[in-house]
Chains A and B, each alone.
Chain A
């Protein structure tokens, strides 16, 4: 179970029970759009997404840019 953008989500994981940020973004259909990711309040640069293993109960924010002033 992960907390993604404030929602509790069960996501399919690998056999070892883990999932990378890249795999999570693919699952969310956000792999091809610009998105910044934070795990437990720490921003994780895109170059680390393929290797970063998320853990049970991690709090994840996936954000983009929207109109604002």
Chain B
């Protein structure tokens, strides 16, 4: 396993200014949000979360098992003092159900005294096969939950206008999908993500836009960050990697690298080459000269 010591520190004082992720009333130093699902066991999940450097982790709300021993519970495995828990409404296909689940998630996190109680990762899905979001239902649920005092982080398609409508409905953050949940296809439409960023941040540069879903490898995370996303949310890419702990570290560094690259400002793309070595003093034959 690669440990932190294999990666030299990149944040020399002049290279990487202090840079935090602000979502509504909260501030985080990590821009990576990870899920807690699909791990082989809780021990592996705990290590992956730790190595990812994430401060926010997502969870789902589900029925208690009745009349049998519960066995190990996620809540026994999660350090609730360390992580801000972001409850999702995964599995909801109507605004009404998403609102119900959001309220139940808030109740649970209030009981646990976790600061995640007042926010929700809103998912209103339109189709079970693609898990693509229903923009109408998302807007409707965002309006209701915002009125109830929730800070809504809304899963959206990468359609810039749908994303804008969700922001206008009151979402604290809009989270466009790179590609379908768990698909590992990465950021399929970079132009749409750039347009989402432009529209959502117009006159509101600090509005947080998080690319949620579709990440398959660390390069996908770096691309999303490099495009200017404020953060990346992922689960399957780590949990189902051949080596989840190594991938958790890769995602951590990809988030940092992508952000640094965005802040540093990439060179424009050019059709033709631009020599890095000077022509002057060349002793060789140069075609055309």
Residues of A within 8 A of B (CB): 4-7, 9, 28, 30, 33-36, 38, 41, 43, 45-46, 61-69
Q: How many A-B residue pairs have CB under 8 A?
A: 106
Nearest residue (CB) in A for B116 is: A65
B7 beta carbon closer than 8 Å to chain A: no
Chain B, interface size: which category?
35 or more
| Known A-B contacts A36-B107, A43-B103, A69-B38; A63 and B61 likewise in contact (beta carbons under 8 Å) | yes
Chain B residue with the shortest CB-CB distance to A6 = B63
The answer to whether B35 and A68 have CB atoms under 8 Å apart is yes
Alpha-carbon distance A68/B67, docked complex (angstroms): 23
Closest-by-CB residue of B relative to A44 is B107
Chain B residue at smallest Cβ distance from A61: B63
Chain B residues contacting A69 (CB-CB under 8 Å) are 35-38, 58, 60, 88, 90, 181-182, 233-236
- Which of A4, A5, A38, A67 is the one whose CB lies under 8 Å from B104? A38
For the complex, what is the distance from the CA of A34 to the CA of B110, rounded to whole Å? Answer: 10
**Residues A68 and B63 in contact, CB atoms below 8 Å apart:** no
Distance of A43 from chain B, by nearest CB (Å): 4
B64 near A63 with CB under 8 A, answer: yes
| Interfacial residues, chain B to chain A (CB-CB below 8 A) | 35-39, 45, 58-64, 66-67, 70, 73-75, 85, 87-88, 90, 100, 103-105, 107-112, 181-182, 233-236
Q: How far is the CA of A41 from the CA of B263 in the complex (A)?
A: 47
- On whether the beta carbons of A62 and B64 are closer than 8 Å, the reply is yes
User: What are 6 pairs between A and B in contact, CB < 8 Å?
Assistant: A34-B75, A36-B111, A38-B103, A63-B62, A65-B87, A68-B35
Whether the Cβ atoms of A46 and B111 lie closer than 8 Å is yes
What's the least CB distance linking A62 to chain B, in Å? 5
Known A34-B111, A36-B104, A38-B100: A67·B39 in contact at CB below 8 Å: yes
What's the Cα separation between A35 and B45 when bound, in Å? Answer: 22
User: Among the listed A30, A67, A68, which residue makes an inter-chain contact with B64, where contact means beta carbons less than 8 Å apart?
Assistant: A30
Cβ A33 vs Cβ B73 within 8 A = yes
- Of all chain A residues, the one with the shortest Cβ separation from B34 is A69
> Smallest CB–CB gap between B189 and chain A, Å?
21
- A26→B38 CA distance, assembly (Å): 31
Inter-subunit contact B104/A43 (CB<8 Å): yes
Contact of B37 among A34, A41, A45, A68 (CB under 8 A): A68
* Complex alpha-carbon distance, A38 and B101, angstroms: 10
Beta-carbon contact of A63 and B63 below 8 Å: yes
Seed contacts A43-B100, A68-B35; 9 additional CB < 8 Å A-B pairs: A30-B64, A36-B107, A61-B104, A66-B37, A66-B59, A67-B37, A67-B59, A68-B60, A69-B234
Contacts of B85 in A (CB 8 A): 65
Chain A residues closer than 8 Å to B45, beta-carbon distance = 67
